[in-house]
Amino acid sequence: MKSAGINEIRKELQTLEPKRLLELCMRLGKYKKENKELLGYLLFDAHDEPAFIANVQEEIREMFGEVNRSNLYLAKKSVRKILRYANKYIKYSGTDVAEIELLMFFCLQLKESGIPYRRNAVFSNMYDQQLKKIRKTLNGLHEDLQSDYAQALEELES
C-alpha cells in the first residue's frame, strides 16, 4: 500500500469537520510517543518559544550532570543521547533560533562538563559537527541576529 503525499493529506484534512479532525489527532497521538510529544509541543509550548528553549536547556543541563565521566565509552553514549534529545526538540520547534540556541548550549555544556572531548576523535568530531551546523544555520538568519550569535560562536570555537 502506497502512503499518501503531504499535499493529499493537507487537502483531505481541510475537508474534515473539527470533531473528526480531533479524533484523528487523538488517534495519532495514541500510538507513538514522538507523535504525542510533538502534539504536546504544538499545543502547550509553541506559543512561548523562549520558555520552551529554557526548559530544554535546563533538561540538557541536568542530563550532563548525570553523565558518567569515569568511563569514556559510557560518557560517549550519554552525550550522544543528550544530542539526540536536543535534536528532537529542535525538530519540533523548527525555528533557526531554537536550533542555534540549543546546539550552542549543548556545545557549551560539553565544554564545561570536564570530559576530555578534544582528546577523543568521536567527541571532537561530534563537537565540530555541531559547530558546523550552527554556522550553517547562522548564515540563514537576519544580520542582526547573526552578529548576536557570532560572538558566542567564536567563544565556542576557541
Mean pLDDT of the chain: 90
For 92, the 3-state DSSP assignment is helix
In this prediction, residue 156 carries a pLDDT of 83
Nearest alpha carbon to residue 105 among 71, 80, 76, 82: 82
In this prediction, residue 79 carries a pLDDT of 95
Overall size of the chain counted in residues: 158
Instruction: Say which residues have a Cβ less than 8 Å from residue 37's Cβ, sequence separation at least 6.
Output: 88, 92
Q: What proportion of the chain, given as a percentage, has pLDDT over 70?
A: 100
Q: Which three cell numbers stand for residue 84?
A: 539526540
State the greatest distance between any 2 C-alpha atoms of the chain, in Å, as a whole number: 58
Whether 83 and 59 have beta carbons less than 8 Å apart is answered as no
**Rounded Cα gap, residues 69 and 76, in angstroms:** 9
Helices (H), 32-120: 33-40, 49-65, 72-93, 96-112
pTM of the full structure: 0.87
Sign of CA dihedral 64, 101, 43, 84: negative
Q: Does the pLDDT value for residue 1 go beyond 80?
A: no
Residues 31-40: what's their mean pLDDT? 89
Residues 57-66: what's their mean pLDDT? 95
pLDDT tens-digit map of 106-152 = 999 999 988 888 888 999 999 999 999 999 998 888 887 788 888 88
Terminal alpha carbon distance of the chain: 52
Q: How far from chain centre, in Å, is Cα 36? A: 16
pLDDT tens-digit map of 65-84 = 999 888 889 999 999 999 99
Q: Choose between 6 and 101: higher pLDDT.
A: 101
In this prediction, residue 19 carries a pLDDT of 93
pLDDT-derived band at 4 (thresholds 50, 70, 90) equals confident
- The pair phi, psi for residue 71, each rounded to 5°, is -125, 120
